[in-house]
Amino acid sequence: MIEVSAGIIRRADGRILICQRGEGRKNAHLWEFPGGKREAGETAAACLRRELQEELSLPLTHVQELCTREAEGIRFTFLTAETDATPILIEHEDMRFVLPRDMLRYPFCPADTLVAQQLAVAEIRHFIWDFDGTLVDTYPAMMRAFAAAAADFGIAVTPERTLALMKDCLRHCCETVGGENGVSAEELLRAFRAHEKDELLRGVPAIGGVSEALRALHAHGGAHYVATHRDFTCKALLEQTGLRALFSGFVTQEDGLPRKPAPDMLLHLMRSHSLDPAQCVMIGDRPLDTLAGQAAGMLSVLIDPENRFPDAPCDLRITNPACLSDIFLQVKRGRMGQYLI
């Protein structure tokens, strides 16, 4: 197997060097941690020193192995190092020294992506979750309730259209369907709430992968919070799933704060629990969640298994909540966490 050394090169200000691969090379225009192939009999550290001298005229100090990964049939050894010199572009298209959390803005080569994500989220300790469709799978019950409410007014609406409209927000769904059929959004919303109450009494399950992620993050010192447009019934629904005890705080409809994407709910949580936005992440299944997180100065994660929102602004995009532990916990379990402390 081909062996490659890749360097996580840090300056005294904490910024890390990333380089953009040039035209005509594999993974052209993607970003990477600089390095190259090991020669016969060469150690990973010696390879990194040689490659960065050849590619960037960059001397290194304090070179140490950090972790290894296999990708695309290549074994990558990631090493940490320090420098106070200025690199010179020789082979790369561009280079930058960036703060770890800013690496989420750059498209990395496949081998470097997970390491870049782990470095970016290493300080995260507080996880703020949307509720409907993020923690608990209430959408099937909500779609049945909306269909029943619409039928009360002689309106037929397909489940697919209902879900698409609800993924924007419930009020948008009521306004759109009501407006098309001469029914006020308030009337439709009241009918929906009456039917929804009956539907929720049947019980709703947690989203697949959520329980595992919540428990793993909590076991490693993470704190969970909820920011939802739903009322206090979210607590009872979480109780039914056996997850209520994992949460340290809630912001709900009763708090009377502006709805997302306004950041007010998240700002309220941070003030109430003395949270640093640099240590927080907002997790949701709709763009209004990630927009609220970004407006509050924290990282944002969009759970989008069906790729409904390909252009939504977010720092991380995932398809299954279970992978959150892969991203957030590998940092804390291994030497990467020690490196970043």
Residue 336 placed within a domain: no
Assess whether 178 and 231 both reside in one domain. Answer: no
Q: Is residue 160 included in any domain, yes or no? A: yes
Q: Within the chain, where are the H helices?
A: 44-56, 110-120, 139-152, 159-166, 170-180, 185-200, 210-219, 233-241, 264-273, 287-295, 324-333, 335-340
Do 94 and 74 contact (CB within 8 A), yes or no? no
Rounded to an integer, the average pLDDT of 96-119 is 92
Is 72's pLDDT higher than 90? no
pLDDT above 90 for 293: yes
- Domain of residue 29 covers 2-120
d(CA 192, CA 145): 6
Whether 331 shows a pLDDT value over 80: the answer reads: no
For 299, which DSSP code? E
Q: What is the value of pTM for the model shown?
A: 0.81
CA distance 143 to 161: 10
The burial of 274, by beta-carbon neighbours within 10 Å (0-12 exposed, 13-18 middle, 19 or more buried), is given as exposed
Q: What is the pLDDT of residue 341?
A: 34
Question: Is residue 19 located within the same domain as residue 111?
Answer: yes
Q: Give how far Cα 257 sits from Cα of 13, 33, 174, 284, Å.
A: 38, 43, 21, 18
- Domain boundary pick from 58, 86, 120: 120
What DSSP letter does each residue of 180-243 carry, written as one string?
A: HTT--HHHHHHHHHHHHHHHHTT--PBPTTHHHHHHHHHHTT-EEEEE-SS-THHHHHHHHHT-
Same domain, 48 and 147: no
CA-derived radius of gyration, the chain: 24
Final residue in a domain of this structure, among 183, 200, 217? 200
Residue 338 lies in a domain: no
Each residue of 169-205: pLDDT tens digit? 899 999 999 999 999 999 999 999 999 999 998 889 9
* Domain co-membership, 229 together with 95: no
Whether residue 130 is found in the same domain as residue 147 = no
Segment 14-42 shows an average pLDDT of: 95
* CATH number of the CATH domain containing 64: 3.90.79.10
Reported confidence tier of residue 71, pLDDT bands at 50, 70, 90: confident
Q: Is 337's pLDDT higher than 70? A: no
Does 278 lie in the same domain as 131? yes
| Same-domain status, 79 and 182 | no
Count of the separate structural domains present in the chain: 3
In a domain, 339, yes or no: no
User: What region, left, alpha or beta, does residue 179 occupy, with left being phi > 0 and alpha being psi -120 to 50 degrees?
Assistant: alpha
CA torsion angle for 137, 142, 147, 151 (degrees, to 10)? 160
Among candidate residues 149, 135, 129, the one with its CA nearest the CA of residue 282:
129
Residue 334, in any domain of the structure: no
Mean pLDDT for 296-311 is 95
pLDDT for the residue numbered 335: 47
Residues 104 and 57 in one domain: yes
Which one, of 123, 130, 323, lies nearest residue 225 by Cα? 130
Cα separations (Å) of 100 from 9, 80, 113, 120? 11, 13, 13, 5
Contacts 24+ apart (CB under 8 A), 281-284: 281/121, 281/124, 281/126, 281/127, 281/128, 282/128, 282/130, 282/227, 283/127, 283/128, 283/129, 283/130, 283/134, 283/321, 283/324, 284/129, 284/130, 284/134, 284/260
Residues of the chain above pLDDT 70, percent = 96
State the Cα–Cα distance between residues 34 and 109, nearest whole angstrom: 11
pLDDT at 333 over 60: no
Strand partners, 75: 3, 70
CA distance 8 to 48: 10
Do 74 and 42 sit in the same domain of this protein? yes
Are 249 and 130 in a shared domain? yes
Model confidence at 330, pLDDT cuts 50, 70, 90, reads: low
CATH number of the domain at 291, please.
Answer: 3.40.50.1000
pLDDT beyond 60 at 332: no
pLDDT greater at residue 201 or residue 266: 266
3-state DSSP assignment of residue 128: strand
Q: Are residues 160 and 143 part of one domain?
A: yes
Kindly state whether residues 303 and 226 are assigned to the same domain.
yes
User: Which pLDDT score, from 0 to 100, does residue 339 have?
Assistant: 43
Residues of the chain above pLDDT 90, percent: 85
pLDDT band at 58 (very low <50, low <70, confident <90, very high): very high
Average pLDDT, the chain: 93
Helix (H, G, I), strand (E, B) or coil at 155: coil
Q: Domain boundary residue among 177, 200, 223?
A: 200
Contact between residue 89 and residue 245 where contact means Cβ atoms under 8 Å apart: no
Whether the Cβ atoms of residue 316 and residue 299 lie closer than 8 Å to each other: yes
Q: Is residue 44 part of a domain?
A: yes
Q: Does position 9 have pLDDT exceeding 70, yes or no?
A: yes
- 341 within some domain: no
Those residues whose C-beta lies under 8 Å from the C-beta of residue 251, and which sit 6 or more positions away, are: 225, 226, 227, 228, 257, 265, 266, 268, 269
Does residue 320 lie in a domain region? yes
